[in-house]
Amino acid sequence: MEKNNNPIFVTQPALPPLEEFTGYLEQIWDSKILTNNGPFHQQFEQALADYLGVKHISLFANGTLALMTALQALRITGEVITTPFSFAATTHSLWWNKIQPVFVDIEPETFTLDPEKAEAAITPQTTAIMPVHVYGNPCKLERLQEIADIYGLKLIYDSAHTFGVKVKDKSLVSFGDLSILSFHATKVFNTIEGGAIICPDKKTKKRIDYLKNFGFAGETTVIEPGINAKMNEIQAAYGLLQLKYVDEYIARRKTVADTYRKQLEGIPGIHFLDDIQEVHHNYAYFPILVNASEYGKSRDELYEELKRNNIYGRRYFYPLISQFPTYRGLSSAKPSNLPVAEKIAAEVICLPIYPELALTTINKIMNCIKSYD
C-alpha cells in the first residue's frame, strides 16, 4: 500500500516474499553454480513451459536480446513489416540485425498491427512480419498467419506484454513462428530483467540455445557467431518463486482495471479499452485516450496535472518509434502513412496499474481526472 505522499508510478514490481527467496539463495551459495544452464535455469524453463502450456521455451537475460536472437535464429534479412506503436526495442532489434523496418499502421480498436495494411506493404524484399500484442491485446492472429502463409513470410510476435494472456484458453505466446516475452521489472511477471523465446519444436530450441551461448554446440564446437544472452541462476530461482504468485498478481490487476473502468465510465473525452471476448487478459497496462475537444484539456495537460499531484502516468508509446531520429527518414515512417498510430500516440496515457495499487490511490487518481478544469 502507498504511503500518503509517495510518488505513484505507472507500475511497481510485485516481489515474492523475501523469506521464501532466501532458501533459494542458500542453494545457489551451496552449489556455487551461478549461471550457464544451471539447475534453477532448467527447473524454471520447465515450470514456465508448463505454466504457459507450451512445449519449448528458452530463457534470456532480457526481452531485447530475445528479440535480436529470434531474428538470427530464423535468419531474417531484407525488410520486416512492423508496428511503430511499441517500445523502442521492437524496431531496434531489427536495426541491430541490419534489417530494414517497414512501418505499418495499427488498428483503432486494439492498437495492434493492421493486417490489411501489412499485406499492402509486402515487397519482394519482405521476409517477415513482426507485430506486437501491445498492452497484451492479441493481434488478428488468424489473418496475420494467413498472410504469412500466402507470401511465405515468417511471423515473429513481440509478446513482451502478454504473460498469462490466453485466447480461447490457448496461450497467446504459442502463435506465430516465434514469440518473445519480457520479464523486466515493469512487467506483469518479472525476473528483475529477463525474457524468453517460445518456439514450436526441439530443433529450433536447440538452435536458439546455441545462439544465446556464443554459438557453442559442445565444449569446442562453435557453430556460428552467437551472443551471450543467458539468464543467471539468481534470476531463474526468483522466477521460479514468482510463478507461485503470478495468478494472484493478475487477479489483483483485474480488480484495479475493473475499478478504473467503473469510475471512468461517462467522463466526456476519456476513452478506455474493454476486455475482449474469449481473451483472458493480464491487465499489464491501463491506457486511456484523451480527446482534447471533448475533455476540455489535452492529453499533455492532463499528464502534467497528474504529475503535479505526484502521479506518474506514462505516455506509452509516444513518440512513435517511427519518429526516432534513426527511423524518421524512412518512407514508411511518414506520419501520413500512420494516421491511426499518430492519433493514438497523441492521446494516450497509461494510468498506474499494479497488484498493490490501493483503492485510496485509485480514488486520488480519479479525482485528478474528474475534477481537472
Candidate list 12, 263, 291, 298; residue touching ligand T4K; CB under 6 A:
12
Should residue 87 be labelled a site residue for ligand T4K when binding is judged by CB under 6 A? yes
Task: Give strand ranges (E) for the chain.
Answer: 8-9, 56-60, 79-82, 100-103, 126-130, 154-158, 166-167, 170-171, 178-182, 195-199, 270-272, 279-280, 286-290, 311-312, 348-351
What are phi and psi for residue 334, nearest 5 degrees? -55, 135
Shortest distance (Å) from residue 65 CB to ligand T4K? 7
The one among 82, 137, 182, 204 contacting ligand T4K by CB under 6 A: 182
Q: With respect to ligand T4K, which residue has the nearer C-beta, 119 or 193?
A: 193
How many angstroms from the chain centroid is the CA of residue 138?
11
Minimum CB distance to ligand T4K smaller for 13 or for 78: 13
CA-to-CA distance for 346 and 85, rounded, in angstroms? 11
Nearest distance from residue 152's CB to ligand T4K, in Å?
25
186 lies in the site for ligand T4K, by CB under 6 A: yes
Contact 236, 41 (CB under 8 A): yes
For 28, 66, 165, 274, the CA distances from 278, given in Å and listed in that order, are 41, 28, 11, 12
Nearest to 45 by CA among 181, 205, 236: 236
**Interface with ligand T4K in residues 281-340 (CB under 6 A):** 312, 314, 316
Question: Could you say which of 48, 89, 155, 237 contacts ligand T4K (CB under 6 A)?
Answer: 89
SS3 65: helix
Question: Is 13:185 a contact under the CB 8 Å cutoff?
Answer: yes
Least distance in angstroms from the C-beta of 187 to ligand T4K: 7
Q: Does 78 bind ligand T4K (CB under 6 A)?
A: no
Residue matched to cell numbers 513518440: 319
Window 44-63: contact mask with ligand T4K (x via CB under 6 A)? ------------------xx
- Amino acid letter at 176? G
The grid coordinates of residue 200 equal: 514450436
The binder of ligand T4K chosen from 185, 217, 340, 346 (CB under 6 A):
185
Among 166, 184, 212, 281, binds ligand T4K (CB under 6 A): 184
Residue 112 in contact with ligand T4K, rule: CB under 6 A:
no
Beta bridge partners of 103: 82
Q: Which stretch binds ligand T4K (CB under 6 A): 7-15, 16-24, 257-265, 302-310?
A: 7-15
Q: Does the footprint of ligand T4K cover residue 160 (CB under 6 A)?
A: yes
Q: Give the strands of the sheet with 286-290, arranged side by side.
A: 270-272, 286-290, 348-351
Chain residues in the site for ligand T4K (CB under 6 A): 9-13, 62-64, 86-87, 89-90, 132, 158, 160-161, 182, 184-186, 195, 312, 314, 316
Catalytic residues: 187
